[in-house]
Structure 1
Amino acid sequence: MSSHADRLAALREQLKRTSLDGFVVPLTDEHMSEYVGSYARRLEWLTGFQGSAGTAAVLPEAAAIFTDGRYTLQVRQQVSGDDWSYVDVPGTSVAEWLRANAPQRARIGYDPWLHTRAWVDEARKALAGQGAELVAVDTNPVDAVWPDRPAPSPAKLVVQPDAVAGKSSAAKRADVADWLGEQNADAAVLSALDSIAWTLNIRGGDVAHTPVALSYVIVNADGTADLFVAPEKMTDAVAQHLGNAVRVHDRRDFAPALGRFDGKRVAVDPERSVAAVFDALDGGGATVLALRDPTVLPRAQKNLAEIAGHSAAQARDGVVMTKFLRWIEAEAPKGELTEIAASDHLQHLRAAAGAVDLSFDTISATGAHGASPHYKAHAESNARIEPGQLYLIDSGGQWQDGTTDITRVVPVGAPTAEMRDRFTRVLKGHIAIATAVFPEGTVGGQLDSFARRPLWEAGLDFAHGTGHGVGAYLSVHEGPQRIAKPNYPGGGPSEPLRAGMLLSNEPGYYKAGEYGIRIENLILVVERTIPGGTEAMLGFETLTFAPIERDLIEPSLLTPHELEWLNAYHAEVVAKIGPACDGEDRAWLTRKCAPIG
Structure 2
Amino acid sequence: MIQERLVKFRSLMKEKGIHAYMVPTSDFHETEYVGDHFKARTYMSGFTGSSGTLIIALEDAALWTDGRYFIQAAAQLEGSGITLMKMGEPDTPTMVQYLLNQIPDNGVLGFDGRVMNSRLGNQLKETLGKHGITIHADEDLVDMIWNDRPGLPDGPAFLLDSAYTGKAASEKLADVRKIMNDRGCDAHIITSLDDIAWLFNLRGSDIECYPVVLAYALITADSAKLYLDGNKLNADIRSQFADMGVKICDYSAIYEDVKSVSGKIMLDGASVNYAIYQNLNPDQILDCANPTQLMKAVKNETELNNTIDAHIKDGVAFTKFMYWLKTNINHMEISEISASDYLEACRRQQEGFLDLSFNTISAYKEHAAMMHYSANEESNAMLKPEGMLLVDSGGQYFQGTTDITRTMALGPLSNELKTHFTAVLRSMINLAKARFLYGCRGVNLDILARGPIWDLNIDYRCGTGHGVGHVLNVHESPNGFRWKIVPERNDSCVLEEGMITTDEPGIYVEGSHGIRIENELITRKGEANEYGQFMYFQTITVAPIDLDAIDAGQLNADEKKWLNDYHKHVYDTLAPYLDEDIQAWLKEYTRAI
TM-score (norm 2): 0.97
1:518 corresponds in structure 2 to: 516
Matches within 5 A, 1:321-400: 321-334=318-331, 336-354=333-351, 355-400=353-398
Which residues in structure 2 correspond to 1:197-212 (within 5 Å)?
197-212=197-212
Deviates more, 1:556-565 or 1:72-81: 72-81
- How far apart, CA to CA, are the structure 1 residues paired with 2:523 and 2:177? 28
Q: How far apart, CA to CA, are the structure 2 residues paired with 1:502 and 1:471?
A: 8
Give CA deviations for 1:83-110 in whole Å, capped at 9, x if unaligned. 1111011344322221233334321112
Preserved CA contact (<8 Å) 1:110 1:134 = no
Specify the alignment match of 1:111 in structure 2: 112
Q: Which amino acid aligns with 1:147?
A: N
The one-character-per-residue Cα deviations of 1:274-302 (angstroms, maximum 9, x if unpaired) are 2222211228xx71111210111110000
Which residue is equivalent to 2:123?
Answer: 122
Which has the larger displacement, 114-123 or 409-418? Answer: 114-123
Distance 1:587 1:132, change over 3 A: farther
**Alpha-carbon shift at residue 488 of structure 1 (Å):** 4.0
Partners of 1:237 and 1:90 in 2: CA distance: 49
Please tell me whether residue 190 in structure 1 is matched to residue 190 in structure 2: yes
User: How far does residue 81 in structure 1 lie from its aligned partner after superposition?
Assistant: 4.5
Alignment of 1:74-473 (within 5 A): 74-91=72-89, 92-128=93-129, 131=131, 133-222=133-222, 224-244=223-243, 245-262=245-262, 264-282=263-281, 287-334=284-331, 336-354=333-351, 355-473=353-471
Tell me if structure 2 keeps the 8 A contact 1:360–1:476: yes
Cα distance in 1, alignment partners of residues 122 and 246 from structure 2? 35
CA distance in 2, matches of 1:171, 1:126: 42
One-letter amino acid of the counterpart of residue 546, structure 2:
E
Cα offset, 1:228, TM superposition: 0.5
CA RMSD, 1 decimal:
1.5
Question: How far did residue 184 of structure 1 move?
Answer: 1.2
The offset of 1:265, in angstroms, is 1.0
2:316 corresponds to which letter in structure 1?
A: V
Aligned partners of 1:335 and 1:385 also within 8 Å: no
Partner Cα separation in structure 2 for residue 417 and residue 405 of structure 1 = 29
What SS does the corresponding residue of 1:391 show, helix, strand or coil? strand
The one-character-per-residue Cα deviations of 1:146-177 (angstroms, maximum 9, x if unpaired) are 01110010011111101111000000000011
User: 1:78: how far off?
Assistant: 1.4
Distance 1:200 1:473 in 2: 13
Give aligned pairs, total: 588
Q: 2:434 touches 2:536 (CA, 8 Å); kept in 1?
A: yes
Distance (Å, rounded) in 2 between the aligned partners of 1:83 and 1:540 = 47
Residue 569 of structure 2 corresponds to residue 572 of structure 1: yes
Q: Distance in 1 between matches of 2:585 and 2:133?
A: 65
Question: 1:536 offset after TM fit, Å?
Answer: 0.6
Structure 1 residue 410: Cα displacement: 1.0
Tell me what 1:479 maps to. Answer: 477
User: What letter is aligned with 1:107?
Assistant: V
- Structure 2 distance, partners of 1:182, 1:483, is 31
Letter in 2 for 1:363: I
Q: Which moved more, 1:481-490 or 1:67-76?
A: 481-490
Q: Which runs of 5+ in 1 are unaligned?
A: none
- Please say if residues 335 and 386 of structure 1, whose CA atoms lie closer than 8 Å, have aligned partners that are also in contact: no
User: Counterpart of 2:324 in structure 1: which amino acid?
Assistant: W
d(CA) in 2 for partners of 1:447, 1:356: 33
> Residues 302 and 267 (structure 1 numbering): CA distance in 2 closer, same or farther, change over 3 Å?
same
Cα separation, partners in 2 of 1:181 and 1:126, compared to 1, 3 Å: closer
Cα deviations by residue, 1:107-154 (Å, 9 ceiling, x for unpaired): 11122212223312332344345x351413322101111011100100
Q: Any conservation in 2 of the 1:407–1:519 contact (CA below 8 Å)?
A: yes
Name 1:542's counterpart in structure 2.
539
Cα contact 1:109–1:137 (8 A) shared by 2:
yes
For residues 132 and 465 of structure 1, what CA distance do their matches in structure 2 show? 38
Quick one: which amino acid aligns to residue 594 of structure 1?
A: R
Q: Give the conservation status (yes or no) of the 8 Å contact 1:123–1:134.
A: no
Q: 1:563 to 1:482 in 2, by over 3 A?
A: same
**Distance change (3 Å), C-alpha of 1:559 and 1:572:** same
* Contact 1:431/1:562 (<8 A) preserved: yes
Q: Deviations over 1:443-499 (max 9, x none)?
A: 101111111110111111111110000000000010011111224473447111100
- One-letter identity of the residue aligned with 1:208: E
| DSSP 3-state at the match of 1:23 | strand
Distance 1:160 1:395 in 2: 23
The percent of aligned pairs where both chains have the same amino acid is 34
| Partner Cα distance (1:556, 1:26) in 2 | 48
CA–CA distance in structure 1, aligned partners of residues 22 and 552 of structure 2:
51
Higher mean Cα deviation, 160-169 or 237-246? Answer: 237-246
1:80 deviation in Å?
A: 2.5
Could you say what secondary structure the match of 2:488 adopts? coil
Residues in 2 aligned to 1:411 and 1:489: alpha-carbon distance in whole angstroms: 37
Q: Deviations over 1:508-527 (max 9, x none)?
A: 00111111100001110000
Structure 1 residues 334 and 77: alpha-carbon distance in aligned structure 2, compared to 1, 3 A threshold: farther
Q: Is the 8 A contact 2:2 2:80 kept in 1?
A: no
Gaps of 5+ in 2: none
Kept in 2: contact 1:102–1:132 (CA 8 A): no
Query: Partner of 2:216: helix, strand, or coil?
Result: strand
SS at match of 1:56: strand
Distance, in Å, in 2 between the alignment partners of 1:81 and 1:122 is 32
Cα distance in 2 between the residues matched to 1:125 and 1:66: 21
| 1:259 counterpart SS class | helix
1:4 counterpart (2, 5, 9)? 2
SS of the residue corresponding to residue 545 of structure 1 reads coil
SS in 1 for 2:311: helix
1:497 maps to 495
Q: Distance in 2 between matches of 1:504 and 1:169?
A: 27
Deviations 1:226-252 (A, max 9, x none): 100112112112112223310111112
Q: Is the 8 A contact 2:137 2:275 kept in 1?
A: no
Mapped to 1, the partners of 2:486 and 2:259 lie a distance apart of 37
CA distances 1:374-404 after superposition (whole Å, capped 9, x unpaired) = 0011111111112322100000000011000
Q: Deviation per CA, 1:381-440: give whole Å up to 9, x if none.
A: 111112322100000000011000000011111011101000000011101110011111
Kept after mapping to 2: 8 A contact 1:159/1:237:
no
How far, CA to CA, are the matches of 1:594 and 1:134 in structure 2? 66
After TM superposition, give the deviation of residue 335 of structure 1 in Å.
6.8
**Structure 1 position 581 matched with structure 2 position 578:** yes
Name 1:46's counterpart in structure 2. 44
